[in-house]
Amino acid sequence: MTRYMLKRVAFMVLSIIVVSAATFWMMHSVPGNPLATRARKNLPEQVLANYNKKYGLDKPVSTQYALFVKNALKGDFGESIIYPGQQISKTIAKTAPVSGKLGLISIFFGFTIGVAFGFIAALNRGKWPDFLVITIAILGVTIPSFVMASLLQYFFGAKLKWFPITYRKGNWKSFVMPITALSFGTIATYARYMRSSVLEVINSDYVLTARAKGVTEMGILFKHILKNAMIPAVTILGPQITGVFAGSFIIEKIFNIPGLGQFLVSSIGSRDYPFIISTTVLFGFLFVLSQLIVDIVYGFLDPRIKLAE
């Protein structure tokens, strides 16, 4: 187990290095200069040269990358090119918690409600709870998150006035609609996965054996059925986490939430090298970390899977 963990952590570090290097190379291979923005188009040659020197853009790409890694290890991601004087680490520290809060709460609700719905649907196969869950699942898979967000804004924000239409700091109510819009698709995905998984597990030999041995119905439901049916649901947790964080970009835009997504989109458009690389490393880290967590949880859920292998 320890050997496996060390191996995975080593791969995590390698992945982040490769991702940051690839991003660095891709950004620098695009023709043009990020300093040639509208505000600085008519700058004298000397001033432009000074700017290039300040941001290290006059150095070879490999040197720039080495410098970035060296500073990043100290927690310094440099200064934004587009917004001079704005420290990237401070911007990330300010915006990442907002995106993180939105994303993590959405994943939590998406996972728990989705698993519960799928479980209930499978246990009531062919009855009204099953049809209700199937309907929710179909709607969740069918309706894009931005459409869901618009519908929520229209009905619960504008018409019923239950929740504020846009984000307001310190007001928990302003988080209800974004979280609902973001977690709806996740609920649907997990409900579908869980339903088919539970239906498969219910008819397995070990459930029959447990019944024959006189295990209580609750014991069978939670210890045998739920635990084993959770395995397929856990496998898609990794992609779901990254999917939710990607989806949060659009939700942040619709509800005007000052999260990382808003900044990333504008920074890519204006080619703010330091900001793009920093956020890409952050998202890469999140992705690899979620994969690691999934692997570990997978090992605990299924004793047949030996993590060391």
Partner 1 sequence: MEKEIKDTNLNITPEMFKRIPRDDIEAEKIARPIITFWEDVWRRLKMNRAAMLSIGIIILLVFMVIAGPHFNKFSFKEQNAQALNISPNGTYWFGTDTAGRDIFTRVWVGGRVSIVIGLVCAFIAMIVGVAYGSIAGLVGGKVDNIMMRIVEIISCLPYLLIVILVCLWLNKTNLGSILLALSLTSWTGTSRMVRGQVLSVKNEEYVLAARTLGVPTWKVIIRHIIPNVLAIVIVGLTFDIPGFIFSEAFLSYMGIGLQPPDVSWGIMSSEAQTQMMFYPYQLFFPTLMIALTMLSFTLLGDGLRDALDPKLRK
C-beta closer to partner 1: residue 120 or 254? 254
The β-bridge partners of 79 are: 87
Report if residue 178 touches partner 1, rule: CB under 8 A. no
Residue from 51, 276, 278, 294 in contact with partner 1 (CB under 8 A): 276
Q: To the nearest 10°, the Cα dihedral for 160, 163, 166, 168? A: 150
Report the C-alpha gap between 178 and 44 in whole angstroms: 46
C-alpha pair distances (Å), 5 with each of 8, 10, 125, 271 = 5, 9, 40, 36
Which amino acid appears at position 45 of this protein?
E
Report if residue 280 touches partner 1, rule: CB under 8 A. yes
State phi, psi for 82 to the nearest 5 degrees. Answer: -75, -35
CB of 26 to partner 1, least distance (A): 5
Report if residue 34 touches partner 1, rule: CB under 8 A. no
C-alpha pair distances (Å), 117 with each of 141, 204, 228 = 15, 21, 16
From 10-18, 79-87, 111-119, 212-220, give the range in contact with partner 1 by CB under 8 A: 10-18
In the region spanning residues 148 to 177, those forming contacts with partner 1, defined by CB under 8 A, are 150, 153-154, 158
Report if residue 26 touches partner 1, rule: CB under 8 A. yes
Residue from 15, 52, 124, 204 in contact with partner 1 (CB under 8 A): 15
Residue from 2, 30, 205, 213 in contact with partner 1 (CB under 8 A): 30
Instruction: State the angle between helix axes of 88-123 and 237-254 in degrees (0 to 180), rounded to the nearest 10.
Output: 120
DSSP string covering 76-122, please? ---B-SSSTT-BHHHHHHHHHHHHHHHHHHHHHHHHHHHHHHHHHHH
Report if residue 291 touches partner 1, rule: CB under 8 A. yes
Residue from 170, 269, 304, 309 in contact with partner 1 (CB under 8 A): 269
Report if residue 31 touches partner 1, rule: CB under 8 A. yes
List contacts with partner 1 (CB under 8 A).
11, 15-16, 18-19, 22-23, 26-27, 29-32, 138, 141-144, 146-147, 150, 153-154, 158, 239, 242, 246, 249-250, 253-254, 264-265, 268-269, 271, 276, 280, 283-284, 287-288, 291
